[in-house]
Chain A
Amino acid sequence: MLAPRALVLRAPGTNCDHETASAFERAGGIARRVHVRALAERPSTADDCQILCIPGGFSYGDDIASGRIFALELRTRLAEMLLRFRDRGGLVLGICNGFQVLLQTGLLLADPDGSRQATLAHNTSGRYIDRWVRLRCEGGPCVFLAGLTELELPVAHAEGRFVPRAESDLTALTAAGQLPLRYAVDATGGSTNPNGAVADVAGACDPTGRVFGLMPHPERFVSATQHPAWHGRLDPDSPGTGLALFANALRAVS
């Protein structure tokens, strides 16, 4: 059968679209980069795609808050298309800025009336940080993490601190398996939570597990040579652990 298609949606300021599209292709899919203006003019562009991915970057500069304007544009111009896409079984993935966008559109972690159950706030350090983290997969409905237990990936953001609206939201979301990706400890037993995220939350999904957002960058570890300690230690031709996430997505829609 035909390889599954992923639409990588970019906006002004998106800057991880090339490597994200390349990661889908490396995993065996077909990926197309589409500008949000073009999609707004022709929403049918998404009809032959099974996966919609909002990659990392600084959409519209993130000058007000991360993902705020991109989310506003999606809500005002593409809300119907997005719901149709999700309801016909399409997968939606948001990476870093894309995760921030998904939260602000209400596609993730929102009450039926649209009020939000959680947000991604400024890192406790108050600063942008690029470092590698260990991640624990909690199981649950998330199709992107199916069968995965541990991941090692880089994060690169200033606004990634997961904050639930209330303790009760955290409990409910945890129980529903909607917080399936957590920062874990490194070899020395120290926490790798880079931003002060509540409950070490690094990623969240909707109740179906088919809409998923995460702060770490799986597309930045699809090849061993992207790891900071690969020299003389890893086979440079082996894949990175991030590739599994894209492979899972493609498998789920095949």
Chain B
Amino acid sequence: MLWEVDVICRDAASDHAARELVAGAQALGVAACTASRTAAGWLLEGDLDRPAVEHIAATLLADSVTETFRVGVVGDATLTAATDGLATVVHVLPKAGVTDPAGLSAGESLALLGHPGVTVRSLKKYWVPLDPDAAAAMARRLVANEAIHDVVVGPLAIHSLAGGGAWTFASETVRLADLDDTGLEKLSRDRCLALTVAELHAVRDHFQSLGRDPFEIELETIAQTWSEHCCHKTLTSPVDHEGPAGRVRYSNLLKETVFASTVKVRAALGASDWCVSVFRDNSGVVRFDGDHDICVKVETHNHPSAIEPYGGAATGLGGVIRDVLGTGLSAKPIANLDVFCVAPLDTPTESLPRGVIPPRRLLAGVVAGVRDYGNRMGIPTIAGTVAFDPGYLGNPLVFCGTVGVMPRGAADSAVVPGDLVVVAGGRTGRDGIHGATFSSIELSSESETESGGAVQIGHAIHEKTLTDFVLEAARQNLFHAMTDCGAGGLSSAVGEMAATLGADVDLDRVPLKYAGLSATEAWISEAQERMVLAVPSESWDKLAAVAAAEGVEATAIGRFTGSGRLVLRWEGQTAGELDCHFLHEGRPRRILTSRSSAVVDREAAWRPVGLTDALQAVLALPDVASKEWIIRQYDHEVQGCSVTKPLLGPGGGPADGTVIRGVLGRDRGVVIGVGLRHRLGRLDPYHMAAGSIVEAISNAVAAGADPDRIALLDNFCWGDTRSPETLGPLVEACLACHDMAIAFAAPFVSGKDSLNNVFALTDASGTSHELSIPPTLLATALGQVPDVRRAISPDLKRSGSRLAIVGLSRPTTAGSQLELTGSVTGGELPRVDAPACRAAVRAVAAAQRAGSVLACHDISDGGLLAAVAEMAIGGGIGVAINLTAVPFEADASLPATARDLAIAFGESPGRFLCEIPTGSDTAFAAAMNDVPWAIIGDVTATPVLEIIGTGERDRVTVADVATAWRTLSKEAG
């Protein structure tokens, strides 16, 4: 019998879900939806009678003080009867097979009440004063996502939660031999393999040499392993590049640009090289202190998040946490960062292409996903940003990153022949099948229906127990190697670990969420929260005991052999057998061509405006505005190590780099800085990338990082790089990474690319076209603070201090925030003068070491005045600043009227503002040596900004600029 329990707030005013639904409905213009009530519903199936269900409801499901409940058998009229006079009830429940964390937790805990083996599914119920069709339509717009939810109006028709029966072994052969190129192309598309015709030729030839066609499971394994997502085939391909500097042939783009710079930097460091493991493992590892190394990884989860923002972002974070956990012999995750690129929140809903989630709902969804996963994991989310551009409309970008700390020596790991293949953590279901290949295909308005299977819902608590288990097993030295199950599931995790040795895997032993999965499904499913470990037989019992103690399921599903072959079995029968060498080396290289043209400045056109008016307009722009409504939803203090938090000072101003102690109770710190100059992506890809890197480094150094210990990460997000005009800018960006790494002696230690960020749509007139994202590079700087007690924050500290600017300013208004306000269009591009930026960075670090810096802020989005305002907001005090004192260089062509605006809002990279305490001027000056700098103002007790320019003298209260800066956060929150 299938029971239902509905849990309802006693007090309608506390029914948040109802409040939000009504607010959302009104915003949508569904005026009739003036009221709603909701219930948390639970479906229970098992050996239960009414008293038992009532006992469960009272002790487990409902709160006796604030909630009531009603119990019935699914179908009972009482369950769907009108509530508070609201006639229509809408059920929103997870589709069969979609992970249901609440249902799983409830089911597991019922054993404690003496009811083992009860299956539970959670659902939400909404009572509304609408007719059924309107109610269903509204639910789909506001509270349900058809990629993962069923929406049912009126009585539920379900009578059992039981899944299908077990799969019986059958191996499907895929005919390639007699397919022509069109046939191969169709096959790739129909099976969502994302393999090119050339690649399918290689597969066909390989199997012809074996005298047979491939089994489905073999073809799928190859597709996963060869996917862009798993092996970066574009960036590692040979490229014929035709750029402003002429023609160049790269035999391996990434290797000859980004990797090459790391090799050169490490060679220059010689004996003092502090890199430990770069571009090899799941994350990049560098030296930290005498006993520890630290590692970092940043991933993207763009396509899943476009379809299901909450689940996409949550599993994106879950995946990168496992990357760090699965580095070497495991690292403890100590910090998360998240960066989102979305379309402007005020994009009119009616202008949205079909299949596109409104930016506001999308951003709320990805924020909630990171919040619910990161907070449950107990990892502080301490860094990040949000960038806005119409180009991200159909294809938002979701970057999630994690920093970990590991004992020295734990970075090295190696599988030994004879080791058991052990899968630990969550069970395997159909969720996330084809995620790896799906992420390599462009999105379209059909993606939601076509690729819903690629969407996964995370279960953070399983990842938390998995983490506790892995760290304890590592402490006891119970395994030889480990990797996480991410894209491609077991097929790429086991495939990767067995790349040289080979393995025999018994897929029928993989623990399943529900019966019915085929061998192939179990092999390629991207079900979350799983790790694969290589465990020596003699350690198996101990490992199993640790797993049991932490409540984690660990199962031996095979052995690493040494045969060089990947053998897949089901109940003893061979389901597939692949040659590891072919699997990992057999992919044909394609030669790509790319083109990029010289970039020229556009003449600036000015529309004069008052300095303080412009300042308030700039501070209110979404890229610059406070992200407090997001930051406060993240636990940024758990683990107790946060030293420089995202919001600082009595006034809660913004941080540059954020700082945490690497180890609780020790004084050495980790700094995270991020740089994202997306507004330059379409204007000048080289300087977009260079500027992003300089911004990330500047953020870290402003916060107190040692400029000689900065590791870099690159995350490229690009459009369809099959087009030479799209690949060209990517080549330019790779060159920028190479040049910056060498200029700053800051090695890249890891990175990731996400290509094909394109949204294909058919407009009303029936013509189809593609929306491509702006070329985007997220640069992450992982720095180190020798002693966190000397960390520096941007908020102003004391009246009487002096304010200095470091670095040269130019009228760099192209792609600036000021341009978005309409006060200027075009102008000089903010090009990076690497030696000058490096000198400024080192001068600032020297001044900090000399104790002559009380506050430090790098100048980026919004330019000088925005940075000054942010420092004043944080400190809750004022500044009198003289723009005419700023070291500034401009062509004679710059009109005098524009001079103040150019100085105040230009975005030249490599500039800092420093608060110099009384009496430290000489020490500060000494640290500057030949870097251009000047004292430009005084810190004042009254919270007012006094601005003196050539043309005008202007003033505004800090309260007013703070209001402008916080407007978006207030309204979005």
B375 lies within 8 A of A18 (CB): no
* 0 or 1 for each of B13-33: is its CB under 8 Å from A? (1 = yes): 010100110000000000000
B652 to chain A, nearest CB (A): 7
Residues on B with C-beta less than 8 A from A122 are 14, 16
The main secondary structure of chain A at its interface with chain B is mixed
Q: Does B14 lie within 8 Å of A156, measured CB to CB?
A: no
Query: Do residues A232 and B59 form an inter-chain contact, with CB atoms below 8 A?
Result: no
Q: Which residues of A contact B795 (CB under 8 A)?
A: 229, 231
Contact B461 A12 (CB under 8 A): yes
- The interface bits of chain B over 104-132 (1 if a CB of A lies within 8 angstroms of the residue's CB, else 0) are 11101100110000000010000000000
Complex contacts, B65 vs chain A, CB 8 Å: 116, 118-119, 121, 163-165
> Is the C-beta of B664 less than 8 angstroms from some C-beta in chain A?
yes
- A115 within 8 Å of B by Cβ? yes
User: A139: CB under 8 A from chain B?
Assistant: no
Q: Nearest B residue to A231 by beta-carbon distance?
A: B793
- B461–A63 touching, CB < 8 Å: yes
Indicate the member of A115, A228, A233 with the most B CB atoms within 10 Å. A228
Within 8 A of A (CB), among B845-864: 854-855
Shortest Cβ distance from A12 into chain B, in angstroms?
A: 5
Q: Is A15's beta carbon under 8 Å from chain B? A: yes
Q: Which residue of the partner chain, among A19, A58, A217, A231, contacts B461 with CB atoms under 8 Å?
A: A58
Task: Tell me if B459 counts as interface (CB < 8 A to partner A).
Answer: yes
Which among A22, A38, A131, A156 is the interface contact of B638 at CB below 8 angstroms? A156
Could you tell me the distance between the alpha carbons of A58 and B463 in the complex, rounded to whole angstroms?
A: 12
A61, B638: Cβ atoms closer than 8 Å:
no
A89 at the interface (CB under 8 A from B): no
B855 contacts A64, C-beta separation under 8 Å = no
Contact residue among A63, A77, A115, A237 (Cβ-Cβ distance under 8 Å from B64): A115
Q: Does A69 contact B (CB under 8 A)?
A: yes
Q: Is residue B884 within 8 Å, beta carbon to beta carbon, of the partner chain?
A: no
Contact A58 B375 (CB under 8 A): yes
Residue B639 is within 8 A (CB to CB) of chain A in the complex: yes
| Shortest distance between the CB of B61 and any CB in chain A (Å) | 6
Which residues from chain A contact B650 at a C-beta distance below 8 Å?
187, 229
Q: Which residues in A have their C-beta under 8 angstroms from that of B633?
A: 127-130
Contact yes or no, A154 B637, CB < 8 A: yes
Which residue of A18, A116, A228 is within 8 Å of B649 (Cβ)? Answer: A228
Q: Cβ of B20 and Cβ of A126 under 8 Å apart?
A: yes
Q: Given A220-B637, A225-B643, A233-B797, does the pair A61, B664 have CB atoms closer than 8 Å?
A: no
Q: Which of B814-866 contact A (CB under 8 A)?
A: 854-855
Q: Which residues of chain A come closer than 8 Å to B108, judged between CB atoms?
A: 60
Q: Considering the chains assembled together, what is the distance between the CA atoms of A12 and B108 in angstroms?
A: 12
A45 at the A/B interface (Cβ < 8 Å)? Answer: no
Chain B residue total in the interface (Cβ 8 A): 67
User: Is B102 part of the binding interface, using a Cβ–Cβ cutoff of 8 Å?
Assistant: yes
Pairwise interchain contact B105-A72, C-beta atoms closer than 8 A:
no
B378–A232 CB distance below 8 A: no
Whether B64 contacts A131 by the Cβ 8 Å rule is no
- Interface bits B787-800 vs A (CB < 8 Å: 1, else 0): 01101110101100
When distances are taken between beta carbons in the complex, the residues of chain A under 8 Å from B59 are 72
Q: Contacts A12-B551, A58-B461, A68-B60; is A130 near B635 (CB within 8 Å)?
A: yes
State whether B652 touches A12 (Cβ < 8 A). Answer: no
In the complex formed, the residue of A with least CB distance to B636 is: A130
Most buried by B among A163, A165, A232: A232
Question: Which residue of chain A is the closest to B61 with respect to CB atoms?
Answer: A64
Considering the complex, which residues of chain B in the window 919-970 have a beta carbon less than 8 Å from any beta carbon of chain A?
Answer: none
**Is B791's CB under 8 angstroms from A130's CB?**
no
- Within the complex, which residue of A18, A163, A228 is in contact with B66, where a contact is CB–CB below 8 Å? A163
Interface string of A19-47 (1 = CB under 8 A from B): 10011000000000001011000000000
Residue of B nearest to A227 (CB): B645
Report A236 CB to chain B, min CB distance, Å. 4
Contact of B19 among A121, A126, A232, A237 (CB under 8 A): A126
B63 pairs with A65, CB closer than 8 A: yes
Give the complex CA separation of A219 and B219 in angstroms.
53
Q: Are B639 and A61 in contact (CB under 8 A)?
A: no
Q: How far is the CB of B5 from chain A (nearest CB, A)?
A: 11
Measured CB to CB, the nearest residue on chain A to B14 is A121
Q: Does the CB pair B461–A15 fall under 8 Å?
A: no
Q: Would you call A226 an interface residue if the criterion is a C-beta within 8 Å of the partner chain's C-beta atoms?
A: yes
In the bound assembly, the distance between CA atoms of A65 and B635 in angstroms comes to 18
Cβ distance A187 to chain B, nearest Cβ, rounded Å: 8
The answer, yes or no, to whether B434 is at the interface (CB within 8 Å) is: no
Tell whether A228 pairs with B112 under 8 Å between CB atoms, given A116-B65, A129-B633.
no
Closest approach, in angstroms, between the C-beta of A218 and any C-beta of chain B? Answer: 11
Closest residue of B by beta carbon distance from A13 = B461
Q: Could you mark each residue 461-472 of chain B with 1 if its beta carbon is under 8 Å from any beta carbon of chain A, else 0?
A: 100110010000
Q: Do B550 and A35 have beta carbons less than 8 Å apart?
A: yes
Specify which of A61, A115, A220, A232 is in contact with B459 (CB 8 Å cutoff): A61
User: 3 nearest interchain CB pairs?
Assistant: A15-B378, A19-B640, A61-B461
19 A–B contacts from the bound complex (CB under 8 Å): A22-B664, A58-B460, A60-B108, A60-B109, A63-B106, A63-B122, A69-B105, A69-B109, A69-B112, A72-B113, A115-B64, A116-B65, A122-B14, A130-B631, A220-B637, A225-B788, A228-B652, A232-B797, A232-B855
User: Which residues of A line the B interface, CB within 8 A?
Assistant: 12-16, 18-19, 22-23, 35, 37-38, 56-58, 60-65, 68-69, 72-73, 76-77, 115-116, 118-119, 121-122, 126-131, 154, 156, 163-165, 187, 217, 219-220, 222, 225-226, 228-229, 231-233, 236-237
Residues of B participating in the A interface, judged by any CB pair closer than 8 Å: 14, 16, 19-20, 59-61, 63-66, 101-102, 104-106, 108-109, 112-113, 122, 371, 375-378, 459-461, 464-465, 468, 549-551, 631-645, 647-650, 652, 664-665, 788-789, 791-793, 795, 797-798, 854-855
Supplied contacts A12-B465, A15-B376, 7 more A-B pairs, CB within 8 Å: A12-B461, A16-B638, A61-B459, A69-B109, A129-B633, A130-B633, A225-B791
